[in-house]
Amino acid sequence: MNLKGFKWALVTGASSGIGKELAIQLSKKGLNLIAVARDENRLKQLAENVKEFSNTQIVTYPVDLSCEENVKSLIDDLSNYEIDLLVNNAGFGLYGEFINLELNELERMIELNVKTLTTLSHVFGKKIAMKRAGGIINIASIAAHIPLPYFNAYAATKAYVYNFSLGLWAELRKYNVHVLCVSPGPTETRFFERAFKQKELNKFGNRMNPKDVAAGALRAFEKGAVLYTPGFRNKLISFVGKKLVPDRLIVRVLGG
């Protein structure tokens, strides 16, 4: 599906990492942006950056999307915008022994990674379907494809994103709405700072550049791909994890 006909994109988690790169590359392709994340300063920097190379519009919307009331307000405030592309990218992970993670943080992760993504897909998916043109890009993870001890609940949220996106693709294609699910592997972003709380930051080496992940995702969307895993190594891990090795063996080995 060609992005050229699209006017407005709503990108969650646009203040850093993969979401920021997606926002920049979408504005280079001529789309106006609604950029959402918590950090107002980073969003302002993004807006200044975009204005340097593009005449497109950018609306920044600082908000915590792990809170249901905020998501409702966002939806109300955007009621006059005709969104053509929804990018559900905001998300975070929590690494550690499940029973020792902060319950409050776990709940916020599930709220953001699963519930907010579902709510936004419902509201904007419906609006886009009524226009009979547009798309949704959901950012999952290669963690979606394998049970991952110590990244357990995070991997489960991403398995939800993966299965939800595939089913949604099948439902929405008759409305000319294209859904793409992106499953990045380790990528050089702020993700690790938050997931590991500064400890063991080097646990996942060989990280991809978020620019390449974003560029690949947009290419995959334009080609009409349903699933996109950036990078050969990540494709191989997904394939081996999903198809070749039994889940019970994976959890035994990774669980230690």
Ligand X SMILES: NC(=O)c1ccc[n+]([C@@H]2O[C@H](COP(=O)([O-])OP(=O)(O)OC[C@H]3O[C@@H](n4cnc5c(N)ncnc54)[C@H](OP(=O)(O)O)[C@@H]3O)[C@@H](O)[C@H]2O)c1
Q: Which residues bind ligand X (CB under 6 A)?
A: 13-19, 37-39, 42, 64-66, 89-93, 112, 139, 141, 184, 186-187, 189-191, 194, 210
Q: Which is nearer to ligand X, 65 or 181 (CB)?
A: 65
| Active-site residue (options: 95, 154, 160, 228) | 154
- What is the Cα–Cα distance from 188 to 186, expressed in whole angstroms? 7
Quick check: is 154 catalytic?
yes
- What is the Cα–Cα distance from 187 to 80, expressed in whole angstroms? 35
Longest dimension (CA), the chain: 53
Q: Which is nearer to ligand X, 7 or 211 (CB)?
A: 211
Q: Which is nearer to ligand X, 114 or 226 (CB)?
A: 114
Q: Which is nearer to ligand X, 129 or 250 (CB)?
A: 250
| Closest approach of ligand X to the CB of residue 153, in Å | 12
Handedness of CA 158, 164, 169, 175 (dihedral sign): negative
The phi, psi pair for 35, rounded to 5°, reads -105, 120
| Closest approach of ligand X to the CB of residue 51, in Å | 19
| Closest approach of ligand X to the CB of residue 74, in Å | 10
| Closest approach of ligand X to the CB of residue 127, in Å | 21
Residue nearest to ligand X (CB): 17
| Closest approach of ligand X to the CB of residue 18, in Å | 4
* Strand ranges of the sheet holding 177-182, from the earlier edge strand across to the other edge: 58-62, 32-37, 8-12, 85-88, 134-139, 177-182, 227-228
Q: State the catalytic residues.
A: 154
